Amino acid sequence: MKKALVTVCVLLTVSLVFFAANPIKIGVVGPFEQEAGAWIRYGSLYAAEAINEAGGILGRKIELLFEDDGVSAEKLKSAISKLVLRDRVDFIMGGYSSGSVLGAMNDLPRYKIIWLGTGAASPQVITLIESDYDKYKYYFRVGTLDSTKQAVSIGKFIAEDLAPRYNLTKVGIITLDWTYSRDIAETAVSICEEAGLEVVFRSYFSEGTTDFAPIFKRAEQAGAQIIIDAIVTDDGIQFVKQWYDIKPNFAIVGAVGPALKPEFYDQTNGKCVYETSAYPNGGPANLTAKTLEFYETFKTRYGIAPGFAAFSSHDSLYVLKTALEKVGNTKDTEAIIKALEDTDFPGGKDNTTTVAPVKFTKYHDLEFGGNYAQGILFQWQLNNGVPEWVAVYPQQFKTGDWQKPDWVQF
């Protein structure tokens, strides 16, 4: 009898050790042949390694399984299917293209698996959840910031900061003729209009435009003091260089995609000084106690600067960790969803968990404004001969003051 009891105890001990050591499997999807995919890969690896070194989640290590989505809804759906049905992952994270994510979200009710999103800025993602919560409640947008909210940050910076400081009265738009870019520019300029500024110029240029001089001349003649731009392509490099060379009498503020990388200074031959762009809930600013260290360590460790999807990829694992530790297991999906809905990591030095502010709305969007998700406005500056990328808005996250281009008079 004693021998049998000892045998049972040994088997139970072995079983408990096995299950404790069984990793939490997380499927990571993204365009891994592109730079954005590297942000997702390295952001998740950065967090997973730190969490595992600290003991994992509920005593279990994190195991990441990567699947390329090919920036295609069909490929993303296939990637998720493989991860869920063959690899038996516990959770999904990642995704970058709005179109791909929207197409793949229809499979969530079948799998009933939680997906922590790291890209997909389209407002339609959250509209889908709002339209049928029970069907799409499995998706949480940890990043990036809704494109319209990025525009709100741009508009507020101009209307509430620059306009009263410099007595500005006139703004204009010069932007890439893409729907995404138009939406950002028009949303930002509408906020300026509501604040009493006059919109005196609009120009939408085609991708591949090489000569911006005629557009700049017309904008200057119209009296624009600030030009709102939204250029996600490499056209932004030529645009900024010519603005600096021609020196029209207006500042540029908006969303130039290439400007959000350290190499932009060299790409423009140093002619990006005074350019100002919004970074969606990330960047080298005092967002939380961990942000600046994360930014610099990421660059050193992986050889590239962390783009916005790196921030949300890192934070996805910490948000998940907090929820799982609250619930106490990885299987009670409904309880985990409720725990995720209670996520509350505001910006500021007291947040030592995430690298960007994270809190969810009723329909799983990022809470926007105040000490939560923001479009952080960064300006390229040359201070004491040293190029710097300075956070200038909002007030609580800034690392320096905005500088008026030295040739602009207003």
User: In the structure, how many helices (H) and strands (E) does the chain have?
Assistant: 16, 14
Beta carbons of 33 and 97 less than 8 angstroms apart? no
What pLDDT does 21 receive?
65
Give tens-digit pLDDT for 128-158: 999 999 999 999 999 999 888 999 999 999 9
If one counts every other C-beta atom within 10 angstroms of the C-beta of residue 326, the result is 14
Residues 6+ apart with CB under 8 A from 318: 47, 51, 345, 353, 354
Residue for token pair 């003991």: 55
121 or 202: which carries more pLDDT confidence?
Answer: 202
Give tens-digit pLDDT for 314-353: 999 999 999 999 999 999 999 999 999 999 999 999 999 9
- Please name each of the domains of the chain with its CATH number: 2-145+287-359 (3.40.50.2300), 148-280+375-397 (3.40.50.2300)
Residue for token pair 């997702």: 40
Q: How far apart are CA 95 and CA 142, in angstroms?
A: 11
With a pLDDT cut of 70, the percent of the chain lying above it is: 95
Give tens-digit pLDDT for 346-400: 999 999 999 999 999 999 999 999 999 999 999 999 999 999 999 999 999 999 9
With a pLDDT cut of 90, the percent of the chain lying above it is: 90
Q: Which residues pair with 360 in a beta bridge?
A: 366
Confidence of residue 179 (pLDDT cuts 50, 70, 90): confident
Residues 6+ apart with CB under 8 A from 144: 118, 119, 120, 121, 280, 281, 308, 309, 312
Give tens-digit pLDDT for 11-64: 444 444 444 569 999 999 999 999 999 999 999 999 999 999 999 999 999 999
13 or 291: which carries more pLDDT confidence?
Answer: 291
Q: Is the pLDDT of residue 3 over 70?
A: no
Q: Is the pLDDT of residue 5 over 90?
A: no
